[in-house]
Chain A
Amino acid sequence: MPLYQLSINGKKYRVNADAQMPLLWVIRELVGLTGTKYGCGIAQCGACTVHLKGAPVRSCSFPVSAVLNQPITTIEGISNDNSHPVQKAWIDEQVPQCGYCQSGQIMSAVALLRDNPHPSDADINAAMQGNICRCGTYPRIRKAIKRAAATLPKTNGQ
């Protein structure tokens, strides 16, 4: 099995893995960061969303061999003290119910606001459409994204 050197949340990891092994299982099972979730395995639900060089990818459908030297950010790398504006907004709007989809929702929202700090409803729809929440927290997710956006500077991202 090939050896991969990965940078996750600013830390370096060396893992032996099948080239075809999805990044999701590498992160969860080999690295041991379990905040990233398995929901469908076929890029339909967004529970496994992580950032690759800042852009959201569905890690369940992304082979480890395709990561190359791009840095990975998982939910654990957003902030561990819930101080990120998106996390704060998630608390203020009391978004999660069961919480299982929320790592992915937050990763999609963080990426959206980084590129587009003041998204319209249509922008929110487009960015969040790939994330399923079976508990139905969508109304609160929308509110929380707007609340987080309101705390960001008027121009540019963070």
Chain B
Amino acid sequence: MKIMKEISRRNFIRQTSLSGIALTLGASVSGKTAVEIINAQTPDKMGTELMSWISIDKSGKVTIVSHRSEMGQGTYQAIPQMIAEELEVNLDQVTIFFAPANPKKYGPQPQEGSFSVRGWYKQLLQVGASAREMLIDVATKRWNVATSECYAKNGDVIHRPSGKKLGYGLLVEEAATLTPPQNVELKSRKAYKIIGKPLRRQDIPLKINGTAQFGLDKKLPGMLYAVVERSPRFRGKVKRFDDSKTKAIPGVKQVLTVKRAVFGSLFEGVAVVADSLWAALQGRKVLVVEWDDSGFDHPGSEQLASQMRENLKKPGPSPQFEAAFENATKKLEAVYETPYQSHSCMEPLNCIAHVQDNRIEIWGPIQEANWIQADLSERMGIPKENVTVNMTFLGGGFGRKAFPDYPHEAALISKAINAPVQVVWTREDDMRLGPFRPGAFYACRGGIDNKGQIQALQTITATQWLGEGWSPEPYPDPKPAGYNSGSLEGMPSPYFKAIPHYSFGGVGTRSPIPVMWWRAPMANTAGFAGESFVDELAHLAGQDPMDFRRSHLPDKRFQALLDQLEAISNWKSRGKNAGWGVAITECFGGICGHIVQVVRKTDGKLNINKVIALIDCGWYVNPDIIRAQVEGSIIMGLGAAIKHATTFNDGKAVHQNFNTYEMPRMTDTPEIEVHIMENDEPAGGVGEPGLPPFAPALCNAIFDLTGKRIRTLPFKLEEV
């Protein structure tokens, strides 16, 4: 496939034949003005637009739009791969480019909940199939033959009896005048030539020579730079600031108070605007800001933890559960504790905004184009159609870049200074200002009967609920105890068929610390508690952890997963020298099981030798991307289990950079083997389900080897 090489450096403009909208995408080459670049392009470069996602030029070159952001998870490849399958073109005939936010045209474009493929695959396949049928239709009419005698292959329509061929390029203009047929029959999975194959990602060539353009790499002519000193206690108000030294730095243009919306609150900062990033950074170093931190708590980690421990006791008893628990043959109670975490995407947050009169255009690593478009429109009072959101490649997202605060702040600065501006967050800003994954504590109680079956299971969650940030200031009081599905996230659903009495509840914990979703939200902590506790119950019942799960997951899909997990790992014939742990979680439409193997090295320290992962994500597009996502999920899960945690002191985040917020590195990486279930289930998530099982499988393995049960994350592997 020919990628629009250096897509990042060019501007694309085109008249879409159907809607007549001029779409521009991309960047300007530094030193040239935008106008020159646009003129340097032939307007019809992409040819005729056949469907919203597909354009074909006269030579038959196909352009497919990837309308979702690419943050590493492979949608840049996966979306065109799906469309090309039904369109009957080779991927090497195809050029890919990112579409700006345009919900009218592409439907929603968020990138969360592992939704790119599972949420939209049927629609995208239909788009490819409709386009193909329109092209066949035109050819059939030209030849005056029956449709049934024609088929499409490799970008041509072919008349079977005569062998006559017409390339798509010769058919597209006429095809574009037809009404797309609805409900075209889709290909069977067996007939796939592109889907299901480990095709190489087309963004990779751009990512190994410096040409892939991330948000920080984007420049606009006349663009200024801003760095912002933001309230380190999140909610502090700017009392006063002294910019006398800042203004003395050559290149500094303006210093101004700025806000950004974080859920229902406006957080404050002081922006230093300069004609170079360096000048802005230097100016910020000598800026003195005095904060008004009154009116809210300044908690430390211990305070938050004891609040959560207290809250675990608050929900009232559930009579049915209590009765069943009382009657159980053996009982167990355990509390699991997980910390706050920062996303720490490799590319710190950044955003370019240009606000002019009644228009806003932004560029950046944007995970949630539609939300950001709508949010900017509302907050800035500018009609949505005048808000253009351009996505660059994202240097990681993990949920953080699906939040509109950083574009909002950039837009406010641009408006105030009346110029295009790039707002750059330093690593320290990015790591210490949140919103964070909330810490979450779980109190589990379970009872088993004399046959070793769980009779009663309860989980109480104490955490800062993800949604509470929307409540107005001051940050809200704890919600009364009650059911919250967040407590269940990650637990394999068939458990609830097998366990006669279960009860889930939670208490929101009150804190001024902003929190939000993090890769595999809620499941990444609840899965740890759930699958650790099930393991503890298995040992209480004196059963093999795999067999115990088998008798509690009465569902064909889970039974098949367990069988295969056992087979690929040789679970039954495992030796005594290594500790083996298993955990299975279900979230975001995917089911994933891990087996972690730990050994004690000759120096007495524990080592994670190997992780075997088996994911069931149903119908899938690209097995190699799935393997990569699961590998990455395991390593991110490993970081959260044994490397890093965000702690607070006096209301501020303690860790600000990778020197103390330690990331997994090459030497921490175990051997990883990823397997994929083959079945006919609908498409599931891929980017998130591989993360939650890691921590419980690891702790279960450590218990297997050492008899020591770990219930608090993170922990130091070398100290176990």
Contact = CB atoms under 8 A, between A and B. Distances in A.
Contacts of A79: 209
A54 interface: no
Interface in B314-367: 344-348
Contacts of B217: 28, 34
A49 interface: no
Contacts of B278: 17-18, 21, 25, 29
B636 A136 contact: yes
A94 B348 contact: no
B619 interface: no
Nearest to A130: B665
Q: Chain B contact residues: over half helix, strand or loop, or mixed?
A: loop
Contacts of A6: none
B207 interface: yes
A40 B631 contact: no
A25 B346 contact: no
A97 to B, nearest CB: 3
Contact of A75 (B209, B624, B632, B667): B209
A99 interface: yes
B30 A74 contact: no
Contact of B208 (A32, A38, A106): A106
A82 B30 CA distance: 23
A97 B665 contact: no
A129 B665 contact: yes
A4 B449 CA distance: 78
Interface string A43-74: 01101000000000000000000000000001
Given A25-B277, A34-B213, A75-B209, A99 B632 contact: no
Interface in A138-158: 138-142
Given A29-B278, A42-B659, A142 B346 contact: no
B171 interface: no
A134 interface: yes
A142 B666 contact: yes
B561 interface: no
Contacts of B70: 98
Contacts of B396: 98, 100, 134-135
Interface in A76-95: 76, 78-80, 82, 87, 90-91, 94-95
A36 to B, nearest CB: 7
Interface stretch (B12-20, B198-206, B230-238, B453-461): B198-206
A45 B347 CA distance: 11
A79 B210 CA distance: 10
B204 A94 contact: yes
A158 to B, nearest CB: 17
A103 to B, nearest CB: 6
A139 B624 CA distance: 13
B700 interface: no
Interface string A86-119: 0100110011111111110010000000000000
Contacts, number: 176
A99 B72 contact: yes
Given A40-B657, A139-B672, A80 B631 contact: no
Contact of A138 (B205, B206, B348, B669): B669
Contacts of B206: 99
A8 interface: no
A82 B209 contact: yes
Contact of A91 (B208, B210, B211, B671): B208
Given A18-B278, A132-B663, A134-B663, A40 B395 contact: no
Interface string B379-408: 000000000000001111110000000000
B698 interface: no
Contact of B205 (A82, A137, A139, A141): A82
B665 A138 contact: yes
B210 A76 contact: yes
A132 to B, nearest CB: 5
A45 B346 contact: yes
B426 A41 contact: yes
Interface of B: 30-31, 70-74, 200-201, 203-214, 216-217, 276-278, 282, 344-348, 393-398, 426-427, 624, 628-629, 631-636, 657-659, 663-667, 669, 671-672
Given A25-B278, A134-B398, 8 more contacts: A37-B216, A38-B427, A41-B426, A94-B628, A98-B395, A129-B665, A135-B632, A135-B636
The 3 closest A-B pairs by CB, nearest first: A35-B210, A136-B635, A100-B395
